[in-house]
Amino acid sequence: MGNCNCPVVVRQPRDKFTKLDNLQECHGDQNSEGPLHGKEDFVNEVATANSAGKQLHVWPPRSSSGDSDVESETEEPKQIQRPRRGAVFAEQMQSTGYYKEPYWNKHVAWENQLFVALSACPIFQQFTDVEITKFVRAMEIHLRYAGEPLCQEGEAGDGLFVVLMGTISCYKGSQLCTIKPPGSLIDEASVLYSYPRHYFMKAQGECVMAKLCRKDYVDLGTRFQFYAREKYKSLLMETKVPLSQDFGEPKCKKEL
């Protein structure tokens, strides 16, 4: 390579470039012998070219108000966000860093009594025997002496009750409405919705009852559904059956 007397233009890097900078650099590349033009020189050159009959287009075009957008920064493209399908499930973690199923120690006779009571409830008929057993293990045990209240009328229901020993009196105001014997299921709808308590309940004598909190029902029920869904997906993937978009039923069904 021989010696070249062409001037070398060194440009310093910049964080942001405006539209005017882009025009100046393009014009400077074409006329490398002279310095870069400023804004006034650029506008005068455009006006001179238009008066001479040369169709020199100015980019960007002027707005309807007559103002030029030359000095405005280059706008970033609009970000397109894809909507999220489905929901996000989160659960509370224990101090150990993983989820631990709740467990209350009970007598075997009480566990059998609770299993029979929950199995007969329509809310729990969608679950298997193993899942109902986990609900029984999560139920709390409470002791009430004679005259002690169980819950107040009108308060938000946070779980259902099952009477194990003794009897529970239910009052509507000051009027006695019903008496719940051992094995009775009380306010089973409270595990689904926080309905207000319909009765004021208190123990007639020494009473032992079990309580399934709504929080434990939601946590365990959701985990059961997720486990069944993942198991269904894994079985379909092993058999190489095409899945539908929502991982429901297979796309192709054999007609009987």
Q: Is 234 exposed, middle or buried (0-12, 13-18, 19+ CB in 10 A)?
A: exposed
Asked whether residue 93 is domain-assigned, the answer is: no
Asked whether residue 254 is domain-assigned, the answer is: no
Sheet holding 200-203, edge to edge: 149-151, 200-203, 168-172, 175-180
Q: Mark whether 207 and 136 lie in a shared domain.
A: yes
Q: How many domains does the chain have?
A: 2
Q: Mark whether 26 and 124 lie in a shared domain.
A: no
Asked whether residue 19 is domain-assigned, the answer is: yes
Q: Mark whether 118 and 45 lie in a shared domain.
A: no
Q: Mark whether 117 and 38 lie in a shared domain.
A: no
Q: Tell me the whole-structure pTM to 2 decimals.
A: 0.55
Q: Mark whether 117 and 213 lie in a shared domain.
A: yes
pLDDT of residue 226: 85
Asked whether residue 192 is domain-assigned, the answer is: yes
Q: Mark whether 112 and 177 lie in a shared domain.
A: yes
pLDDT of residue 255: 46
Sheet holding 207-213, edge to edge: 140-144, 207-213, 159-165, 185-186
74 alpha carbon, distance to own chain's centre: 36
Q: Mark whether 118 and 203 lie in a shared domain.
A: yes
pLDDT of residue 116: 94
In the beta sheet, which residues pair with residue 211?
140, 161
d(CA 147, CA 17): 80
pLDDT of residue 112: 93
Asked whether residue 99 is domain-assigned, the answer is: no
Domain hosting residue 119, numbered range:
108-217
Asked whether residue 1 is domain-assigned, the answer is: no
pLDDT of residue 194: 82
Q: Mark whether 51 and 152 lie in a shared domain.
A: no
The residue from 21, 44, 60 where one domain ends is 60
Q: Mark whether 210 and 114 lie in a shared domain.
A: yes
Q: What is the pLDDT along the chain (256 residues), one digit of tens a residue?
A: 455 555 554 455 555 445 445 545 555 444 444 554 555 666 666 666 666 655 555 555 555 555 555 544 556 556 556 566 665 555 555 555 667 788 888 889 999 999 999 999 999 999 999 999 999 999 999 999 988 888 888 888 889 999 999 999 999 888 888 899 998 999 888 888 888 888 899 998 899 999 999 999 998 998 888 888 888 888 877 787 565 555 555 555 444 4
pLDDT of residue 231: 82
d(CA 50, CA 179): 99
